[in-house]
Amino acid sequence: MITRPLDLLSKLRRPPRNFDFLFLVNGGLIALFFTFFSSHFVLSPGLRVNGADLKLHASSGALDNPAATPVSISINANGQIWGDTGLIPPPKLLEWLSVQAKRAPGSTLLVIMDTHAQLEIITNISDAAKSAGFSDIQLAEQLAQPAAGANP
């Protein structure tokens, strides 16, 4: 039984011996930048919050003030605060932020909040972040995912 009637494998050229490793250098530089900024966003889009008074700058869009944000937390619609270590109870928030601020001194905190989250939580996080040692707070909002089977 003939399984390879055209013998195409013998007609292929051998791969070249010179190995172009420029793509490895490029991949290494990309990995270095992601490691250096230690965020899944190199420059996180959002609105900069100055001070504990929570005044948002008037801007045409979230991309006006990108910043490197090595520490980020998420707030869902229920008001739960999530960090890279999991759920953060509100009484332990200041302690968790202090540890993170010591890990990255003078950095910006990225707060990703649901559009249905209460503003009181943001002011509490802003106060705690300032007292923990973060220089700025970057605020980003995202819409909650609708429940499965829910009508829009």
Q: How many domains does the chain have?
A: 1
Q: What is the pLDDT of residues 36-76, one digit of tens each?
A: 766 555 566 666 665 555 544 444 555 555 667 788 898 88
Does residue 119 lie within any of the structural domains?
yes
pTM for the model stands at 0.54
CA distance 37 to 55: 26
User: CB-based contacts of 66: which residues, under 8 Å, 6+ apart?
Assistant: 43, 44, 45
For strands 71-75 and 81-83, give the pairing. antiparallel
Residue 149, domain member (yes or no): no
CA gap 76, 67 in Å, rounded? 22
* Lowest pLDDT segment from 39-43, 83-87, 93-97, 146-150: 146-150
Domain presence at residue 103 = yes
87 assigned to some structural domain: yes
What residue type is 44 in one-letter code? S
